Amino acid sequence: MSILNHEQIRAYLHLGRGQLNAAEQAALDAHLAGCADCRRYAGEVTGLQTRLTEAMRVRWKRYSPSPVINEQVQARLRRKIWYRQLWRLANSVAAAMATLIVILSLGWLAWQTRPLPDRPVARATMTAPASSLPPAPSVGDWTALPGLATFGDQAKLLGYSLSVTSFAPGDTVEVTIYGQTRSANYTFFALLFGGDNTFPLRGRSRVAQTDAPGLEASCPQVGRHSAGLVVTCLPLVLPNPLPAGSYQLRVGAYDQAGGQRMTTPDGRETILLTTLQIGALPAETSPPTPILAPTPTTYSIPASCPVTLPNGSTPPGEQPSPTYHGNGQLWTALWPEGAVLIPPQMVQPDGSSSMKWGWWRGVEGQLTIEGRRLDASASPLGAVIPDGYGDTGFQPGGLIFSTEGCWEVTGKVGQAELTFVVYVVKVGASQ
């Protein structure tokens, strides 16, 4: 039985047991029996494949493919089976040729070493070279898993799960994204748009948006595995009130370091996952009380930090939300209670932390952001403002806090200014 290394075992796990012969399966089982790391990796791959299989089974059951698509899938499967059989035949022919060469070589050697008069015969031995396994893909091989969509060749959407597709105003839509990223800088975000499924999206009302993983116990945290696989739960809080109708649930990917969104090969920033039905609340039912997601640890905002609470001023073209804050010229969205909770994946090696931050411009010009810590000395606030969003309207950005504490932030466009105070605290890293 061949001795396999870790990379070859993980390559076998990606292929699946159904693609291995009896000898390969025996070698895989023998290695897993004595290697705890590979058993954990096998559990991660098996768990992801199970979740992907269930998600795809539900979607397949819900949306039966047309005969044309079914025939195309069957044709591709037949081609793959034919290619695999051809590859095995070629390997068999190559092995037969190698055996023939060895036999001829032995015959030639026997002829060369045949006994001659008055000449001793030296003992000759030959060991056939061991057959080598095909090179295993490196850990995190980008081509090892199929994807539903690729963003900027940096993030790949493998699947998603959503328990229901009908909601009421005020509900939280919890969508779980299964993906693969080339580095920890890339992650996924979710958007909810009003209207039908036609393009373009420009001018369509954006109902909800999130790129922060959920903190509720029922919503799994961001999980990063050795193969670059990620499981991200993105909760979308629906405004209340919200007109009844059909809404688009879309997903995209972006670079957390610079705030830049990635695009699909056809140039789109998001793809449509599914359509949600939002129903109006019954007339006799009072709107549900918003429930804030509990934090994994307790924290308190010092009385000396005059945090800014949102005033509800809504940017032009947006649905009303109690998280909006503005002055008629500039707007942003603030966290509940004035605290910015920084999850572990947003903390940089130098201790600073970054958080994506959205702005809306009611005056024409380019946005600039500056800030300082109020309760202690610290490096000034850093900011990332990507290009490509015009001179007015929505402008995404990123804030970089060098430390925790009480921070004053000011956004400027020309003569217009908007200032607010937030309390920054890291959560989940040391609990």
The span from the CA of 58 to the CA of 56, in Å, is: 5
The pLDDT, as a whole number, for residue 36 is: 86
Cα of 18 vs its chain's centroid, Å: 27
Which residues of the chain, if any, have pLDDT below 70?
Answer: 1-3, 57-66, 110-146, 163, 195-204, 212-228, 280-299, 428-431
The pLDDT, as a whole number, for residue 247 is: 86
Q: For residues 423 and 406, is the Cβ–Cβ distance under 8 A?
A: yes
149-278 and 324-426, same CATH topology: yes
Fold (CATH) for 324-426: Immunoglobulin-like (2.60.40)
Q: Where do the domains of the chain lie?
A: 6-112, 149-278, 324-426
The pLDDT, as a whole number, for residue 352 is: 92
The pLDDT, as a whole number, for residue 203 is: 44
The pLDDT, as a whole number, for residue 112 is: 63
Q: Which two tokens stand for residue 82?
A: 């034919």
Q: Which of 133, 115, 110 is nearest to 3 (CA)?
A: 133
CA dihedral 64, 68, 69, 74 (to 10 degrees): 110
Q: For residues 12 and 28, is the Cβ–Cβ distance under 8 A?
A: yes
User: Which residues, 6+ apart, have CB-to-CB distance to 103 below 8 Å?
Assistant: none
- Residues 115-138: pLDDT tens digits? 544 333 333 223 323 333 333 334
The pLDDT, as a whole number, for residue 8 is: 81
Cis, bond preceding 241 (omega within 30 deg of 0) = yes
Q: Which two tokens stand for residue 209?
A: 């948006």
The pLDDT, as a whole number, for residue 234 is: 82
CB atoms within 10 A of CB 45: 20
Q: How many residues does the chain have?
A: 431
The pLDDT, as a whole number, for residue 145 is: 62
Q: Which two tokens stand for residue 25?
A: 């399966």
The pLDDT, as a whole number, for residue 143 is: 64
The span from the CA of 301 to the CA of 336, in Å, is: 12
User: Which residues, 6+ apart, have CB-to-CB distance to 365 below 8 Å?
Assistant: 391, 413, 414, 416
SS3 labels along the chain: CCCCCHHHHHHHHHHCHHHCCHHHHHHHHHHHHHCHHHHHHHHHHHHHHHHHHHHHHHHHHHCCCCHHHHHHHHHHHHHHHHHHHHHHHHHHHHHHHHHHHHHHHHHHHHHHCCCECCECCCCCCCCCCCCCCCCCCCCCCCCCCCCCEEECCCEEEEEEECCCCEECCCCEEEEEEEEEECCCCEEEEEEEEECCCCCCCCCCCEEEEECCCCCCCCCCCCEECCCCEEEEEEEEECCCCCCCEEEEEEEEEEECCCCCECCCCCCCCCEEEEEEEECCCCCCCCCCCCCCCCCCCCCCCCCCCCCCCCCCCCCCCCCCCCCEEECCCEEEECCHHHEEEECHHHECCCCCEEEEEEEEECCCCCCEEEEEECCCCCCCCEEECCCCCCCCEEEEEEEEECCCEEEEEEEEECCEEEEEEEEEEECCCCC
Class of 149-278 in CATH: mainly beta
The span from the CA of 431 to the CA of 423, in Å, is: 19
Q: Is the pTM of this model over 0.75?
A: no
